[in-house]
């Protein structure tokens, strides 16, 4: 029982990070109906650059910030040179290939310059040994901190989307880009902004996951992106509450399966779950069927 | 104020407009009528920047619009109310109006214009917190017009505001449009299939057929023309 509780908490914590990744994917899906399939490399770079900078003597926070700035630049490049041209061809899925391509190149660059070995990720706030005891069960402080930070980020994003002019403008673009443009909303900067925000969420997610695992290597992000994608699809693509729930469910299942069966089985079960949900409810748990205007 | 000259537009290889010239002076109410597929909506989409022009010019206040992106044109004071009562369905009525006020002029005069919109369409005040998608067709059209007005525009483009509405509702909409023109002195360019009503409101009218201006003139001139009477009003000897 004690083990189960520990595993569930770890699952919720990791799941909240999957939710972060899923919401990052949602952001660009809203504005352009595209997703950055190179997102895994963005997560890896966020964690990798931070680890390398900290190892080089830079203060933690500054290292994280610098990594996020680089990520923002990469996302601008991705949107301008790989997504926008692909979208000019109506009905093309070229963006899926081109964004994946950028991701693979980034992974190659990281392997060349940082080496393909795992790099130790520094303990940022709490060390892996810190814990609190609640009702006799030990909860790792790292997991708690990650949970709090991810949930706070999701809440902040929702608040921005609901309450600010930019958020409202972004929702308008996601509903009808032409109508938004005619209403005077600068569609291009908003699309670019959604890509940057998506990358920043991914970068932060990468750092958080690397924190729990303790290491990061160039291939680190790919699985994570798959989990984020599964969380997004589980919850219903485009739905924030769906992404949150999808992420949590996925995280808990992953940890329970990993704890009681085998960590090797976690992936298989995650995908089996995805298949079952998609058969029963193609629009995802919270998703709405896309109505396509003819 | 608005000068369209020799405008040609093509959609995927198909000619939609051929050398169309239209002008609207400040304070005028101008109507464009014509059958389905004549290019009326294309004309509006080109003016507001959603569809690119192939040849010709569009000037607003003497400066060319063609190089300006769609969003910029809204900031210059052109409000476009597209056909099909387009509203942001999963936002509330109030949020829709707020978005309409996105251009600087709209934000500056927000309090005043919101009051005016509520006076013109009291239902929008009553339903302020309701999702736009749950409104009736007529109410959505009122909201679409309200959103246009919220930008505090200098030129209002209305694309078939009566489309798909019950005659009584369409009458109310026409009445309000006329009121906006008379009381606020707003310059209006209207596209309509309800030819008689539309021409009656207008200072000048254009008849668009298969992408060309077939005829233009004042209400009296157009109404006196046999072709217009026969083709659009079902009057005169066949």
Q: What is the pLDDT of residue A39?
A: 93
Q: What is the CATH number of the domain that holds A123?
A: 1.10.3470
| Cβ(A170)–Cβ(A161) below 8 Å | yes
Q: What is the pLDDT of residue A280?
A: 86
pTM above 0.95, yes or no: no
| Cβ(A36)–Cβ(A99) below 8 Å | yes
Nearest Cβ partner of B86 from A179, A181, A188?
A179
* Domain-embedded: residue A121: yes
Name which of A162, A166, A184 to mutate to probe chain B: the one with the most chain B Cβ atoms within 10 A of its Cβ: A184
Mean predicted lDDT score pLDDT of chain A = 87
Mean predicted lDDT score pLDDT of chain B = 88
* Domain-embedded: residue A99: yes
* Domain-embedded: residue A287: no
Q: Using the predicted structure, report yes or no on whether residue A292 has a pLDDT greater than 50.
A: no
Average pLDDT over residues A286-292: 59
pLDDT tens profile A125-165: 777 778 887 777 777 888 888 889 888 988 898 888 888 88
Complex prediction ipTM: 0.83
* Domain-embedded: residue A36: yes
Q: Using the predicted structure, report yes or no on whether residue A104 has a pLDDT greater than 90.
A: yes
Q: Does B22 touch chain A (CB under 8 A)?
A: no
| Cβ(A236)–Cβ(A286) below 8 Å | yes
Residues of A in contact with B89 (CB under 8 A): 175
> Quick one: three-class SS letters along A177-243?
HHHHHHCCCCHHHHHHHHHHHHHHHHHHHHHHHHHHHCEECCCHHHHHHHHHHHHHHHHCCCCHHHH
Name which of A182, A188, A189, A240 to mutate to probe chain B: the one with the most chain B Cβ atoms within 10 A of its Cβ: A182
* Domain-embedded: residue A231: yes
* Domain-embedded: residue A290: no
Please state the domain count of chain A: 1
Domain containing A51: what range? 2-280
pLDDT tens profile A211-262: 888 889 888 888 889 899 989 988 888 888 889 999 999 999 888 888 888 8
Nearest Cβ partner of B71 from A165, A176, A186?
A186
pLDDT tens profile B13-34: 788 888 999 999 999 999 998 8
Q: What is the pLDDT of residue A2?
A: 62
The tokens describing A233, both together, are 């699809």
Q: What is the pLDDT of residue A290?
A: 53
Q: For chain A, where are the E strands, in sequence order?
A: 119-120, 131-134, 137-140, 215-216
Q: What is the pLDDT of residue A288?
A: 64
pLDDT higher at B174 or B37: B174
pLDDT tens profile A70-98: 999 999 999 999 999 888 887 778 899 99
Distance (Å, whole) CA A164 – CA A145: 27
Instruction: Name beta bridge partners: B11.
Output: B14
Residue A26: which residues within 8 A CB-CB, separation 6 or more?
A: A232, A237, A238, A239, A240, A243
> Quick one: three-class SS letters along B89-136?
CCCEHHHHHHHHCCCHHHHHCHHHHHHHHHHHCHHHHHCCCCEHHHCC
Rounded to a whole number, what is the distance in Å from the CA of A32 to chain B's nearest CA? Answer: 17
| Cβ(A246)–Cβ(A278) below 8 Å | no
Q: Using the predicted structure, report yes or no on whether residue B94 has a pLDDT greater than 90.
A: yes
Rounded to a whole number, what is the distance in Å from the CA of B30 to chain A's nearest CA? Answer: 20
Average pLDDT over residues B130-135: 91
Grade residue A5 by pLDDT with cuts at 50, 70 and 90.
confident
CB contact under 8 A, A182 and B70: yes
pLDDT tens profile B205-230: 998 888 888 888 887 788 778 777 77
Residues of A in contact with B99 (CB under 8 A): 168-169, 172, 180, 183, 185
* Domain-embedded: residue A286: no
* Domain-embedded: residue A234: yes
- Nearest chain B residue to A161 by CA distance is B91
Average pLDDT over residues B105-111: 90
């Amino acid at each position: 029982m004690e083990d189960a509780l520990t595993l569930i908490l770890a699952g919720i914590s990791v799941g909240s990070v999957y939710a972060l990744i899923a919401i990052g994917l949602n952001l660009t899906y809203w504005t352009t109906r595209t997703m950055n399939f190179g997102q895994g490399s963005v997560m890896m770079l966020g964690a990798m650059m931070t680890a390398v900078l900290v190892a080089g003597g830079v203060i933690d926070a500054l290292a994280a910030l610098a990594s996020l700035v680089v990520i923002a630049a990469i996302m601008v490049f991705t949107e301008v040179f790989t997504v926008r041209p692909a979208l000019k061809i109506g009905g093309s899925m070229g963006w899926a290939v081109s964004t994946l391509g950028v991701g693979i190149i980034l992974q190659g660059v990281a392997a060349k310059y940082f080496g393909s070995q795992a790099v130790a990720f520094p303990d940022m706030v709490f060390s892996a040994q810190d814990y609190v005891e609640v009702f006799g069960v030990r909860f790792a402080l790292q997991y708690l901190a990650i949970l709090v930070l991810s949930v706070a980020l999701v809440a902040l994003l929702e608040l921005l989307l609901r309450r600010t002019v930019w958020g409202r403008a972004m929702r308008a673009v996601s509903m009808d880009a032409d109508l938004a443009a005619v209403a005077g909303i600068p569609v291009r900067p908003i699309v670019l902004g959604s890509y940057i925000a998506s990358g920043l969420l991914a970068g932060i997610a990468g750092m958080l996951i690397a924190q729990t695992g303790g290491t990061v290597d160039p291939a680190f992000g790919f699985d994570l992106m798959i989990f984020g994608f599964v969380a997004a699809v589980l919850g219903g693509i485009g739905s924030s509450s769906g992404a949150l729930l999808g992420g949590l469910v996925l995280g808990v299942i992953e940890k329970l399966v990993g704890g009681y069966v085998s960590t090797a089985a976690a992936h298989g079960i995650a995908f089996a779950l995805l298949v079952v949900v998609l058969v029963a409810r193609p629009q995802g748990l919270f998703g709405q069927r896309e109505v396509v205007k003819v | 104020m608005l000068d369209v000259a020799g405008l040609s537009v093509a959609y995927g290889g198909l000619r939609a407009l051929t050398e169309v010239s239209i002008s609207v002076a400040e304070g005028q109410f101008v109507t464009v009528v014509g059958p389905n597929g004549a290019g009326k909506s294309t004309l509006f989409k080109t003016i507001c920047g959603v569809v690119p022009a192939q040849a010709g010019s569009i000037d607003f206040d003497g400066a060319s619009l063609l190089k300006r992106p769609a969003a910029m044109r809204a900031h210059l004071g052109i409000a476009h109310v597209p056909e099909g009562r387009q509203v942001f369905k999963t936002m509330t009525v109030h949020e829709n109006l707020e978005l309409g006020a996105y251009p600087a002029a709209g934000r500056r005069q927000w309090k005043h214009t919101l009051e005016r919109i509520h006076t013109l369409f009291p239902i929008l005040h009553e339903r302020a917190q309701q999702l736009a998608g749950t409104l009736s067709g007529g109410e959505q059209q009122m909201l679409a017009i309200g959103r246009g007005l919220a930008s505090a525009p200098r030129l209002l483009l209305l694309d078939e505001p009566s489309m798909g509405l019950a005659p009584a509702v369409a009458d109310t909409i026409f009445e309000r449009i006329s009121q906006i023109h008379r009381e606020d002195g707003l310059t209006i360019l209207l596209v309509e299939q309800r030819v008689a009503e539309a021409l009656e409101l207008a200072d000048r009218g254009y008849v668009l057929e298969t992408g060309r201006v077939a005829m233009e003139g004042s209400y009296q001139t157009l109404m006196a023309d046999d072709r217009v009477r026969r083709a659009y009003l079902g009057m005169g000897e066949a």
